[in-house]
Structure 1
Amino acid sequence: MTRSPTDMSDLVTALMPALSRSLAEQFNVFRVMHHGTHEKQLSNVFSWLLATDGTHELGDVFQQIFLRRVNAELPGDAQLPTTGYRVIQEVDTRGGEEIAGGDVGMDIADIVLARSDAAVAIENYGTSDGHGHDYHRYLSHAVATARVGAVVLLCHRRETHLQRDGWEQAIVVTYSEVLEDLQAHIARDSSWGSLHPEQNFFVQHMIHYFVEGPAAVNLEDQISFVKTMCETGEAERYGFRPQERAVQEFADLVAEHARQQFEDGRKTLAAVKAGLRAFARATLMQQLNDALENGPVERVLTRFVGKWEWCVELHRGEGRPTIFIVFGPTALAENAQVPQQLVEPDFSRVFMSLAGVDGQGPTKMVQTDVGLGEVINGLSGDDERLRDAALALVGDT
């Protein structure tokens, strides 16, 4: 199927509402509390799941899930029992002689699973990296007293190039792997979720945060996406084979057109800014100064960047509030700060706002009748719409 650039641009535009909702930050307990940004926080959560008597009421389910992942990386004669472990946090892995000698500082394993005949020393970190800990000390602690043992890197991301100084021998288990296994178990055991709604809520948020991520979409957005695909003539892609290739080709095509539209959008904003700056210096400044009895406009500046970049400043005399001509992203940001927000603003228009005398935030904002396209095409010298909007905004200030 061949689509013209215009067709694809229309598709990207039509998909934007659904895509923006799916990519927007959604409510999640972990995200709200900024939980998981430090290894100790996550060690607490995984220790809770691993404990067979934890308030999660899963019994030894997660222990078995975790140990099965560990055993999958061990040879047959080194397999570990899959349950029956005590869970201990913050364990000093030094041997007795090292502790007695006092020459070696503590080397703390985040979690240790221990039973009389087996143990697992776990280093929990964002990446598969020993980050300064001693692998051999961890291993010695795990196999002490003739136990079978293993050292595990529990992590968010598997990055083998970071594993060195013995840590390349460690077993790597990722959050997503064990949480996906837990998700599958919960799906099979519907009674647990019904009997333990609070625990289920917490675990599901953990799964969404560490497995599915912020791009996970709800059913309504999925249906909206399919509807848009049908309305724009792209639905036949669902029948393409192999499906993996069809998905990648579609994603690449949408990404390329989205990139082009974004770049063109920025060029459009830059053109509007240049047009407003030129009009303000050549025409608007004089129009205002002919009408203002006090506080004439002394300078026209365009100095801001970031979300405040799409703005032209009209600086007046000392003690007089600055007038801002704003549009696009900056108008959106200004409207979020002004005490009396505009209802349903039209962002294809130019806006004007008035700064507080102390320079702190906008005090008032108005939408003008001037369209962005008009600015790009060039405003005439006798166009007084921006002047009138500024005068109404300023009043007697």
Structure 2
Amino acid sequence: MHRKFVKGRGPMEDQDVLGFVVAMCETGQAKRYQERRQDVAAEQFANELADQAKERFGEGRDLLQRVKARLKSYCAHHLLRQLNATLGDGFVRGVSAGYKGIYQWTINFEIDDSLSVDFGEASFQLKFGPSAWFANGPDPNWTLTVDPDVADYTRVFLTRASRHEVRQSTVSLQEVLDGLSPDDRRLHDEIVQMLREPTTGPSGI
């Protein structure tokens, strides 16, 4: 969000500045440009934004926790059963969500995967929000990732450690919040497809 309208410490490009001004107009904040003391108006605006950002940040964290609880419940009660019916009884031994920090928005699947690799992640996972962003970008352990230009963080992501791969699912976080139907098989189908593909190392070996 900071990078959207801020470019280092220098001035932004004209197109970015224009986008900022348009956003000010669309949100009714353009009236601030009428103030005689623009330095005072700018400081007041910055303080109000800071207060709103703090409030939105807290609301965002609460929302992420609700998504996590509902997604874990769906996985433990419905998706686990679907996967075991397809891949064999006991293939998925359990579902957990005990990670901390940037990894905490992750649902881990305990699966029978003889090709598992150990870089601190479970063999198969669902990730969303900050955890999906981190896996798909800054984390160097994941080498097969979603193109940043098409990555949509309103959706649930899939990861398979033995392939060092991140994929984007068709299931949205809003759908998770609204409640996925017990017979919704989209995640099942996407997971099965990913698990049945050949496993390669990070260098393609």
TM-score (norm 1): 0.43
| Structure 2 CA distance for aligned equivalents of residues 364 and 279 of structure 1 | 23
Residue of structure 2 aligned with 1:303, choices 74, 93, 98: 98
Residue of structure 1 aligned with 2:109, choices 314, 317, 326: 314
Residue of structure 2 aligned with 1:238, choices 33, 43, 46: 33
Deviations 1:44-102 (A, max 9, x none): xxxxxxxxxxxxxxxxxxxxxxxxxxxxxxxxxxxxxxxxxxxxxxxxxxxxxxxxxxx
The structure with the larger Rg is 1
Residue of structure 1 aligned with 2:170, choices 355, 369, 393: 369
| Structure 2 CA distance for aligned equivalents of residues 232 and 312 of structure 1 | 37
Residue of structure 2 aligned with 1:261, choices 56, 59, 64: 56
Deviations 1:86-131 (A, max 9, x none): xxxxxxxxxxxxxxxxxxxxxxxxxxxxxxxxxxxxxxxxxxxxxx
Do structure 1's residue 327 and structure 2's residue 128 form an aligned pair? yes
| Matched letter for residue 3 of structure 2 | S
Do structure 1's residue 340 and structure 2's residue 122 form an aligned pair? no
Distance verdict in 2 for CA 1:234–1:387, change over 3 Å: same
Q: CA shift at 1:227, angstroms?
A: 3.3
Residue of structure 2 aligned with 1:218, choices 6, 9, 12: 12
Q: CA shift at 1:387, angstroms?
A: 1.0
Q: Is the 8 A contact 2:72 2:97 kept in 1?
A: yes
Residue of structure 2 aligned with 1:355, choices 161, 173, 180: 161
Q: CA shift at 1:274, angstroms?
A: 0.7
Distance verdict in 2 for CA 1:237–1:328, change over 3 Å: same
Give the secondary structure class of the aligned counterpart of 1:379.
coil
Distance verdict in 2 for CA 1:231–1:379, change over 3 Å: closer
1:114-193 aligned at under 5 Å gives the runs none
| Matched letter for residue 20 of structure 1 | R
| Matched letter for residue 178 of structure 2 | N
**Structure 1 spans left out of the alignment, 5+ residues:** 1-15, 27-214, 357-361
Distance verdict in 2 for CA 1:21–1:377, change over 3 Å: closer
Q: CA shift at 1:225, angstroms?
A: 2.4
| Structure 2 CA distance for aligned equivalents of residues 289 and 264 of structure 1 | 36
* Counterpart in the other structure of 1:389: 190
Q: Is the 8 A contact 1:364 1:393 kept in 2?
A: no
CA RMSD of aligned residues (A): 2.4
Q: CA shift at 1:313, angstroms?
A: 0.3
| Matched letter for residue 342 of structure 1 | V
| Structure 2 CA distance for aligned equivalents of residues 288 and 335 of structure 1 | 25
| Matched letter for residue 392 of structure 1 | Q
| Matched letter for residue 327 of structure 1 | F
Q: CA shift at 1:22, angstroms?
A: 5.2
Distance verdict in 2 for CA 1:383–1:370, change over 3 Å: same
The share of aligned pairs that are identical, in percent, is 33
* Counterpart in the other structure of 2:202: none
| Matched letter for residue 331 of structure 1 | A
Q: Is the 8 A contact 1:22 1:216 kept in 2?
A: no
Distance verdict in 2 for CA 1:345–1:244, change over 3 Å: closer
Q: CA shift at 1:224, angstroms?
A: 3.4
Distance verdict in 2 for CA 1:367–1:257, change over 3 Å: same
| Matched letter for residue 259 of structure 1 | K
Q: CA shift at 1:296, angstroms?
A: 0.7
**Structure 2 spans left out of the alignment, 5+ residues:** 117-122, 200-205
Give the secondary structure class of the aligned counterpart of 2:164.
strand
Distance verdict in 2 for CA 1:318–1:227, change over 3 Å: closer
Q: Is the 8 A contact 1:323 1:354 kept in 2?
A: yes
Distance verdict in 2 for CA 1:388–1:229, change over 3 Å: same
Deviations 1:297-346 (A, max 9, x none): 11211122222221100011362542100111211222234333223122
Q: Is the 8 A contact 1:313 1:323 kept in 2?
A: yes
Residue of structure 1 aligned with 2:3, choices 10, 17, 20: 20
Greater RCO (Cα-Cα under 8 Å, separation 6 or more) = 2
